[in-house]
Homo-oligomer: A and B are copies of this chain.
């Protein structure tokens, strides 16, 4: 009998529940959802099978509960990070770093999220997914902000960018989980950020611009002047 699937309960209860979630995460990560058995989750969590059903209504409920806390904390963590970053490109870079780092530090969670949850249509209806969706809107917002500020070009597409960020990160992490390559996904962060950001970069972002018309062969070409990418002015 599930006497308290509810919410407020004793600290001991809370700990038990955590134990089960942790055990389940490990087992699911190793075996996949359907090949994982409640009995193994019970063994790994140090509780009986029946007790598991005191805390969760079904095997799938366990699965869908695993990302709840994690995504909640992840979202908060990200917001915290972004507080002090202003430029859109740095924000995007931070998001990418953060996301890769997180998965690398929690491989069991990564396996559950990317290999199991991602393919389950019913997951889309859970609270955890709602949080993820919100979290991922941050990317949209950052891109829009970047466009508004002129940092990103106006043709930049926020949705496409989000797809690129999430897709690339997740693809890299899946490769790492299944193939062991790359050996550290977070090592990609810098390069990946650079390419994505440069894909958004607005060449016109500077406040001034020099236009030049060059006429040759009876035909005229228009040019615009932009500052050399980086680096100090060279001495005359």
Taking Cβ atoms with an 8 Å cutoff, the residues of A that contact B are: 1, 3, 32, 34-35, 39, 49, 114-116, 118-119, 121, 124, 155-157, 159-161, 163-164, 166-172, 174-175, 178-179, 182, 188, 191-192, 194-201, 203, 210, 212-215, 219-229, 233-236
Contacts and interface: CB of A to CB of B under 8 A. Distances in A.
A80 B13 CA distance: 57
B167 A39 contact: no
A219 B233 CA distance: 7
Given A1-B39, A236-B215, A223 B225 contact: yes
Contact of A160 (B32, B119, B192): B192
Given A167-B172, A191-B160, A224 B228 contact: yes
Contacts of A163: 168, 171-172, 175, 188, 192
Contacts of A170: 167, 171
